[in-house]
Amino acid sequence: DLRAYAAGALTVDLTTADPTTLEAHLQATGLPFPSRVFDFGMMRYRLTGGGLHRVARQPSALFAYEGADESPDQGSRRLRLLCQMYEGTISGLPAPTERRTNDGVAFLVYREGDVTVVFWQEGRVVCVLAANGDAEAAIKLAFAKAVRI
């Protein structure tokens, strides 16, 4: 989904920089669980929008963010970040690149090229964060977003 979003093949239902507006939009779609949209402005990502999406034919909440990598070794390039929430369990996922635990929450980390995808469980909901760029930065964003339930 991250690559499709970056290529323009995946679009969002609602363009907004306001997390509260996006949360209200998602609840109005009949999403069967509450969503949490974060403001990652302090981490140099701005919310660009989101909406109802599908993961394995199940409804999911999708949030899109963009940032800029200004690191000297990378030059200036656009960073993309997608977050998703869907009902399910992480137990059926394939073996991850690595496993991490932070504040009592287990994280499954996958890496492919410059994309890092992090999964974790919050009650009956699976949370996913996918980002291009620095893998450690993506994992730290997942740690910041996670809530132990």
pLDDT digits (tens, 9 = 90+) for 79-98: 899 999 999 999 999 999 99
For residue 113, give the amino acid letter: G
Res 57: pLDDT: 86
Residue 69 has pLDDT above 70, yes or no: no
Residue whose entry in the numeric block shows the structure tokens 């394939």? 94
Ranges 24-33, 64-73, 130-139: which has the least confidence: 64-73
Residue of 64, 38, 40, 68 whose CA lies nearest to 53: 64
CA 21, CA 15: separation in Å to the nearest integer? 10
Can you give the pLDDT at residue 70? 56
DSSP letter (8 states) at residue 37: -
